[in-house]
A and B are shown apart, each in its own frame.
Chain A
């Protein structure tokens, strides 16, 4: 609406028949450009005046610049890059939160952005009510939530608190409940942010075990981290982003090395 246009049909893109069977997702020439007005306009009056004067100018900012990336089912891909390199924008595009300005995003199955634990939790609702709300927000039916309910309560280790309003929960309990709901179903694609330190050491281990189960069941995992060692340990391949461009994609060890070098040159 406001000085923004999204093309309806990008050209020269592969058709469905060209997609390999074992592809989990691919991005083809994906660009995301934020149009930032030079000054933010908040009122109609201002907007109308400036429109008449022809004074609406936009600085476009390319958060992602022609990204091409294809990932196979069951692969664990690490994503490296400094703050503002475009990592979260890439995840948002994949999770359908952000619609790409250009290019094609193709995803098979359900994407779980685990960085959003407890999305939509309401403090006045009980634990159970919040499980239903959160579960349906993630796209599950009421019946599916019902089936998983005992398992979720058990995993979250919050006992009879599940019948109390969420505002009486400690922050650790809230986070555990969020994690329990989000991981109750095995996703096809799992996005793991580094903010996965939930609760005490025992629970962290439980979380790590569940992640392992997911990987073994064939889920595709995207690991976004500043921790280069972790990416080297867990991933087969890694992608390196810089200023919205994909500057390296390949063997995790080599890409990590390049990233380390990049950080070193900065200092």
Chain B
């Protein structure tokens, strides 16, 4: 028996949230492998491969620009405005939706071998981060085309992505934990996403809905704050105010802590529900 023998005692899990962090650190190589699998298998059989990650937001942006540029006056910068919002939104929409389907794959595995339950969700967000990095290429291309300056505030982009990722992880954990108990969540979620997208200023400027419910429609939408943070440091070329920074920080990591706690508390029962 080796020096680093592991002991498992089912009665010793007093703090499932902290235990899970320790387990995840042990399984960090698995998460890297799962991300790798997602990226590799997604593109292996398509001839353009990884380029699709870049063409995707570009295509949507072109359609949106043609349809909406006559409705909203953004002095010719509309394509850059919309691709910025879309890159941030797509990250959230794609990772959270992918979590639900990955948990179905995972639940088959959970019945067979032990692995930390959060690993599936974390790897989904990891894949999303790789994809958002790729989609920064078409974003830069559009900025050059529309002569939108790439300003020094871009150095805050990693923080903007970190906030989005923390929020997406926390939200995905809550969503997938509920999804295990109620399978119809995955049927319902695309509808929720569509509604959420139109309620968030993504294809239109925020001024358009700034006075709805005295502005509360915006303030109560966490994605409004996080996508705004992302847009501030990229498209607008502005540093966020202290208030904007704190709101984004508290929202993203608050949801992450809530999601992590909720998920790890429910995780023991997952195997009973498939």
Contacts and interface: CB of A to CB of B under 8 A. Distances in A.
Given A1-B269, A34-B272, A109-B1, 11 more contacts: A1-B266, A42-B184, A99-B269, A99-B271, A106-B8, A109-B5, A110-B6, A119-B112, A124-B45, A129-B37, A137-B113
- Residue in B32, B111, B114 with the greatest tally of chain A CB atoms within 10 Å: B114
A135 to B, nearest CB: 8
B182 A47 contact: yes
A104 B11 contact: yes
Contacts of B14: 8
A251 interface: no
Interface string B9-31: 11100100000000000110110
A95 B113 contact: yes
A156 interface: no
19 contacts: A1-B266, A4-B269, A16-B9, A73-B1, A95-B113, A97-B110, A97-B112, A98-B271, A99-B271, A105-B10, A106-B7, A106-B10, A108-B5, A108-B7, A122-B41, A125-B37, A133-B37, A137-B115, A165-B44
A35 B271 CA distance: 12
B268 A113 contact: no
Interface of B: 1, 5-11, 14, 26-27, 29-30, 32-34, 36-37, 40-41, 44-45, 109-115, 177, 181-184, 266, 268-269, 271-273
Nearest to A134: B33
Contacts of B6: 108-110
Contacts of B269: 1, 4, 6, 99
A109 B111 CA distance: 20
B11 A124 contact: no
Contacts of B27: 136, 139
Contacts, number: 118
Contact of B30 (A96, A105, A137): A137
Contacts of A34: 272
Given A4-B272, A124-B44, A137-B30, A104 B113 contact: no
Contact of A141 (B29, B111, B114): B29
Nearest to B187: A43
A125 B109 contact: no
- Residue in B33, B34, B44, B45 with the greatest tally of chain A CB atoms within 10 Å: B33
Contacts of B34: 133
A42 B182 contact: yes
A190 to B, nearest CB: 14
A10 interface: yes
Contacts of A92: 111, 271
A138 B114 CA distance: 8
Contacts of B272: 4, 34-35, 98
Contacts of B36: 129
Interface in A202-229: 218
Contact of A105 (B9, B44, B110, B181): B9
Contacts of A100: 10
B265 to A, nearest CB: 9
B262 to A, nearest CB: 10
A97 B106 CA distance: 12
Contacts of A107: 7-9
Contacts of A13: 11
Given A4-B269, A120-B109, A188 B37 contact: no
Nearest to B42: A124
A118 to B, nearest CB: 10
Nearest to B114: A96
A116 interface: yes
Contacts of A98: 271-272
Contact of B9 (A104, A124, A132, A138): A104
A119 B113 CA distance: 8
